[in-house]
Structure formats: C-alpha cells, structure tokens
Chain A
Amino acid sequence: MKSKLNLDVKQIDEARSSAKRIAESMQEFIDRHTTVSTERTILRLLGVDGTDDVLTPLPNVVVDRLLDNGQLSKGVANFIGSAIHNLKKSPQEISEMVSEGTLDFESLKPVKKEDVEKALKPYITESLKKIKTQTEKREEYLKTIGEGKKPYLYVIVATGNIYEDVVQAKAAVHQGADIVAVIRTTAQSLLDYVPFGATTEGFGGTYATQENFKIMREALDEAGEEVGRYIRLCNYSSGLCMPEIAAMGALERLDVMLNDALYGILFRDINMQRTLVDQFFSRVIIGYSGVIFNSGEDNYLTTADAFEEAHTVLASQFINEQFAVLANIKEEQMGLGHAFEMDPDMENGFLYELAQAIMAREIFPRASLKYMPPTKFMTGNIFRGAIQDAMFNLVSVWSGQSLQLLGMLTEAIHTPHMQDRYLAIENASYIFNNARNLGEEIEFKENGIIQKRAQKVLKDARALLMDIEKEGLFSTIEQGKFGGVKRPRDGGKGLLGVVVKNEDYLNPFIPLMMGGAK
C-alpha cells in the first residue's frame, strides 16, 4: 500500500534492522540468566499453587529456598524433576513437603537428565493442554458469537473489590465495551509474589490473583454471551512478577496483558536486568497463549513532552516489536502503545496527533496498536474533557487503531464512575460509527504539515535507534533517553533475584512454547 505520509521505506527498514540488533544483543544477556520470578513461573506451570501457613505462596517458598542455598542457577525444574523421579509425588506435593520441612532437595539421589525430563513430562503436557483448551475456547467464541469492530472499545474497572469490579464490568459490556481491564491495586508491581485467592481490598485497583482472573473471566463470558460478542479481559503481566502473571493469564484465558520491561524500569524503578529477563519468558507465554501484549510507550508522554519526544515512542515500539519477534509472537498480538497527549492549546496539535497515529499504523500495519487517551492535560472541566476525548476518538477511527482505551471525561478527578464509562463508550461509538471509513477517503497534501510531521518523527526515531545500537540499551536507559527518566543498571528493585544459569540449567517450557507445542 502506498504511504499516505510519503514515508521513506528505506528509513523504516533501517530503523527496524537497528532495533533487531539491539534486541538480539540484549537477548544474549537474557539467555545467560534466570530470575526468581521466572523459576516461580515454571512451578506454577507445573501445577504448584496455594500458600504456606503464613500465606507465602508455595512457588516463593520453594524458589527462595533454592536461592538461599545458592542452587537456583540449575533451575527449579531440575530439582522438581528429580524429586518426582525419586519420590513418585506431584510437584504440588513436593512443594508442600519443602514448605513443611519434610524434604530437602540435597538429600535426593542424583538423577540422569533424561529421567528428570521424563518425570516432568506429564505435568508439562497437562499444563500446555490447559492453555490450549483456553485458546481453543477463545477461537470458538470468536467463531460463534463474534466480536466488536475495531477499534475495540477498551475500558477499565478499578474498585479494589473483585465482586464490585464484576458489577461494573458487566454494566460496561452492556453499554458496548469490547475489552475490560481490571486495574491493579497501586504498588502490586513492586510485590515479589502474587497474592492468593479472591480479594476485596485494594487502592486504585484490585489485586491480580489467579482466582480474581477466574471470577472476572466467568463474568465476562456470561455477559459476552448475553450481548452476543466476545469480551476480552485485560490485566498486567508487569512488575516483579511479570512471567508468573503471564502464566496465570494464559491458564485463565486473559486476552490482553500489559507487558513492557522498559515501562517497569522507567516508571516503577524495577531493575533493568531483572525485568528484561522476566519479560522474555512472559512474552514466550503470551505468544503461545494467543494473548495480545500491550507495551507502555504511551507513558513516556506523561512525563516527557508529547510533541518533542514523539520519536522516543516510535523507537521504543520498534524495540518492543523485535523483542516480541524473539519470543515468537505474531504481529497481530503486538499491542504497541502510543498516546494522544499533546497540549490542547498547541496550534495544529490535532494535525500532529493524526500524523503520528497514521504513521504508527503504516509502520506496524498488522500490529494491534493500543492507543491511549489524553490524561496529562485533563483539567476537571468535564465538558471540555469530553471534547478532548472526542478529538482522540476521531484520530483513532481515522487512522485505524486497534485497541482504544477510552478517555474518561472525569480523568484527573477520580477513578471512573459507572456513568463516566457509559458516556465514554457513547462518545466513541458515535464517532467511530459516524466516521467509520474516513481514513479510506482522505489523502494528505504532499509536503504538508501532516506528512512532514510524520517524516520528522521517523527520521528522529531512526537516529535514536542508531545511537542506542552503538551505546547498548542498558546505557541508553542510564542516560535517561526514554521518558526523561534515568535508571542505573544495578539500581532499582529486584536485582537480587537475578541468577546466572549454570550448564545444567533447565526451563522445559521455553522450547516447547516457542515451537507451538500442542
């Protein structure tokens, strides 16, 4: 398709190749390391769940024991495999024994590599089967009851109480929502464990737990059947438990997950080594289970200027795309993020936003682009806020975005009330329907404001990527080139949970999932 923005294909290719080399060089680092959360994920996928008597999740109990004894470099799968072989017990029973102090891994007889793999096999198969059943169920729903038109209407619920969330989510579905995200309670990203069970207490959001996922999934399936379209569920595979939550999401059929190491580094001060290693396994799981991941580039524009720093968003999208390629994720599952965050008082701001949104679509033609609403310049004037959201919705339908996180007219006042969500859905539905094919009808003036804006952002992004390639991703982040936030390589939270793998290390899920195992 001919570029409406007259973008230079050569520049796009160069930017993409640069990003590819950046991601590959990071992958060499990733492949040499594992993390506590990666290992806990393996346990969860082997069926380990529940907590000990002081409510520490069993995956944490087992992995922390190995970490304290300096044995984690072999990978928890080796220990569990040899315990199954020796004791003829399940991973869950073995973990309970470790927790009760009735099993010490060191007391086990050494086991041959083949026997470890053989012992693990039935549990791996069962786990992958559960995930496949869920992806088939999604496909079945899409085939039978179908789905809403793109851009999908994406809303959030954030009551803190999963049962109250269900009420709000179901109402949102009846009002027209296609995707419901359950916002997490503040600071969950910094917990180095996943809480257990259904929860009713959270601030600004609800805990991400496997039970909460299950409760919301059932509610959305029910509501989806009532309205006759599949409703996607979204949560956060991010923070210190990134891959664990990806596994829980795969098992409970989440459809969309926010997942972006760069976001965690910059905005949650999570250690960069830790979260880049975590991200890899989480993306492998996401790719395997048909989840759309959302990257968090839009957030750069809440701290940095949306006009001046637009190229950092594009550069980061290129890098996120290449990380996803390395985890074998399909383009359609790449929910690369960007946002409508320019100062509304800027002359021609709408033209620049439009240029950038169309640019993202042309550069990532098959990606499920996630477009985020205005937040930074929302004032509490709800009437003006509704217009800002309308402008955002118009750009979205015009440029063919995929996932439209709806702007709330009460942004900057409170977490959305039920009527705020209804008004947001009404606003977007009106504009999307009323201007459905606008994008196909309109071309842009050669060398006009819109073309030139997109060309400049691309050119700057390419230059930035070449810099990053030279410097390396770690030092680029250290220098504060994304979002204007500087983070040291050895700083932030979670570095203690990073371990160099030894030669016997085993993570049986990665090759199977990347190979698309049935």
Chain B
Amino acid sequence: MAQKKKEEKMVATSKVDLTQVKPYGDSLNDGMVETAFTLPVPHGEEANEAARILTKKMGLMEPNVVYSKDMGSGYTFFVVYGKCVHTVDFTNIKVTKVEVDVMSREECGAYWEKNIGRPVVIVGASTGTDAHTVGIDAIMNMKGFHGHFGLERYKGIEAINMGSQVPNEQLIEKAVSVKADAILVSQTVTQKDVHITNLTNLIELLEAEGLRDKMIVIAGGPRISHELAQELGYDAGFGPNSYAEDTASFVLTEMVKRKMV
C-alpha cells in the first residue's frame, strides 16, 4: 500500500511531456474523456455494444458505457467514458488571434483622445434573417453585458445599433450615409451554415461597391472565430466571452495603424 502511494505521487509530480499531451482525468496521461451522444437504435445490450464500438473508433479505448437510457421511438442516449489514444504536440500549436492589446473602456477613451480626437462611427447589426440581438446589444448598447459597458458608453465612439434582421444592403447604405469607420456584424443562427453565406455576401457587396478598404469590418457571434472571420474576408472575428473593450481596442488601434484618423 505504501509503495503504491509512492508510485502515484511520482506520476502526479512527473513533468508533462508537452510534445505528447493527452486528456487528464485523475492522473497524468490516463487519457480519460467523457462523451454523451444518442444513437438511432433501440435501447438494449446491442445498443450498448454499438456505443462501445463507436467510442473505440473515436480513439477512446476501454470504453465504459456508464449510462444508457431509452429515449423512446427507437433512440438511445449514452454516457460513455474512454481512454484517449491520441496525443497533441503542444509545442507546435499555432492559432490566429486578433493581434491587439485589449484596453479598458477608460484606456480606450484616453487612447482616442491622444491619437484620434474625432468621432469614431461604428454601425452594427444582426444581419440577414437572424433575429437574435443579444450579441450585438451586449457589444453596442449603453448597458453592455455582465458588467462590461457597451460601445455607446465609450468616449469618442458613436455607436449605431440597427437591431435584427437587417439586410446586408441596408447595413451598407447606413454605413455609407453616416460615414462609418467600422461595421460590426453579429450572427447567432448558424444552422445549415446560414451565417457563412450571409457573412460572405456582405464582403462581396462591399467589394463590389469599392468600400471594403474604407472601413474596418468585424464579425462576432457564439460560433465565430478570428480564423473563420479572416477566411471570409473580415478584419477580425470575436467569439464567445468577447466584450465591447475587445472590439473598441481593435477598431481604435486599427484606425491609427491604417492612418484612418
């Protein structure tokens, strides 16, 4: 017993090999992963076996079906644990991130005063058929979200929130008429990749009208990443846990960088 304890302690304190990282359950390199999924098969021993085989194919060995439940109409729900065989080389990871030092609201105000000094106009909308405004409201409206005030409260920024279901054409029209420095597009509904079509369409319209380089164009939403946004031709993309200060910092520093001041 004493010897076993000693061994565990040794494992737990041994150094992580960052070139071969795998999931951590309760000891290093145990590879433990929990999964939950549904199979369109009736509940029973065969269903459990199917879940085990499938889990192995996912690279999770010694699969353990800890729970399975008949959901009616021939569907079964599973919770399955397994030990992941794969590893990741953490020393060789590259992620495209928005390259900006995030400033607080007050710092943004000071930066604006020092480097810009003229009103910065930002137009935002939830575009296309998307009726969800929680995201764009959180970034733009005075109140903000979760203690992070929105752009309306930022010094030097004039924030115009057009709300939901705004056609791309109308967003561009507005941006031109108020001489916007930046456009924020929010997309929440992503079923059948409708957001990709919609985001691509906006860039195409801006390019067709020769406006693309005159404005900073940013996409945001729960399923938006900076990488995706860049692929689609946006200057930046903000995903979950982004707030007004992320957007403001990016717009203000980018304006200075591009000499839009």
Contacts and interface: CB of A to CB of B under 8 A. Distances in A.
A376 B134 contact: yes
Given A160-B192, A203-B192, A186 B71 contact: no
B210 interface: no
Nearest to B79: A419
B258 to A, nearest CB: 33
Interface in A342-386: 343, 345, 375-377, 379-380
Interface stretch (B8-16, B83-91, B107-115, B125-133): B125-133
Contacts of B72: 170-171, 173-175
A422 B129 contact: no
A481 to B, nearest CB: 15
A204 B38 contact: no
Nearest to A187: B129
Contacts of A485: 163
Given A186-B129, A267-B131, A422-B69, A305 B143 contact: yes
B146 interface: yes
B131 A171 contact: no
A419 B131 contact: no
Nearest to A425: B71
A422 B133 contact: no
Contacts of A414: 190-191
Interface in A265-303: 267-269, 302-303
A215 interface: no
A12 interface: no
Contacts of A419: 36-38, 71, 77
A268 B131 contact: yes
B192 to A, nearest CB: 6
Contacts of B37: 419
Q: Is the interface of A mostly helix, strand, loop or mixed?
A: loop
Describe B's contact surface by its main secondary structure: loop
A306 to B, nearest CB: 12
Contacts of A171: 71-73, 75
A412 B222 contact: yes
A185 B191 CA distance: 11
Interface residues of A, number: 38
Given A187-B165, A203-B194, A419-B37, A303 B73 contact: no
Nearest to A302: B134
Interface string A383-416: 0000000000000000000000000000011110
Contacts of A174: 71-73
A185 B129 CA distance: 9
A302 B164 CA distance: 14
B119 interface: no
A275 to B, nearest CB: 16
Nearest to B130: A186
Contact of B189 (A167, A186, A304, A376): A186
B245 interface: no
A417 interface: yes
A185 B143 CA distance: 30
A190 interface: yes
Interface string A182-222: 00011101100000000000011000000000000000000
Interface in B97-122: none
Contacts of B194: 203-204
Contacts of B137: 303
Contacts of B164: 267-269
B131 A187 contact: yes
B70 to A, nearest CB: 9
B240 interface: yes
Contacts of B189: 186, 203-204
A181 to B, nearest CB: 16
A366 to B, nearest CB: 32
Contacts of B130: 186
A174 B75 CA distance: 11
A418 B38 contact: yes
A190 B192 CA distance: 21
A485 B134 CA distance: 13
Contacts of A187: 129, 131, 165
Contacts of A379: 240
A267 to B, nearest CB: 7
B141 to A, nearest CB: 8
Interface in B170-207: 189-192, 194
Contacts of A304: 143
A435 B129 CA distance: 41
A419 B191 CA distance: 18
B73 A190 contact: no
A414 B183 CA distance: 26
Nearest to A201: B192
Interface string A120-162: 0000000000000000000000000000000000000000100
Contacts of B75: 171, 418
A204 B165 contact: no
B145 to A, nearest CB: 8
Nearest to A304: B143
Q: Which of B130, B189, B190 has the most CB of A within 10 A?
A: B189
Interface string A415-441: 101110010000000000000000000
Nearest to B166: A269
Contacts of B71: 171, 174-175, 418-419, 422
Interface in A221-257: none
B35 to A, nearest CB: 11
Interface in B28-79: 36-38, 69, 71-73, 75, 77
Which of B73, B130, B194 has the largest number of chain A CB atoms within 10 A?
B73
Nearest to B137: A303
Given A187-B165, A303-B133, A418-B75, 10 more contacts: A186-B165, A186-B189, A189-B131, A190-B165, A203-B192, A204-B189, A204-B191, A268-B131, A268-B164, A380-B240
13 contacts: A170-B72, A174-B72, A186-B165, A186-B189, A203-B129, A203-B189, A267-B164, A268-B165, A269-B165, A303-B141, A345-B146, A380-B222, A422-B71
Closest 7 pairs between A and B when the two form their complex, measured CB to CB:
A174-B72, A187-B129, A186-B129, A171-B73, A204-B189, A419-B77, A419-B38
Interface of B: 36-38, 69, 71-73, 75, 77, 129-131, 133-134, 137, 141, 143, 146, 163-165, 189-192, 194, 222, 240
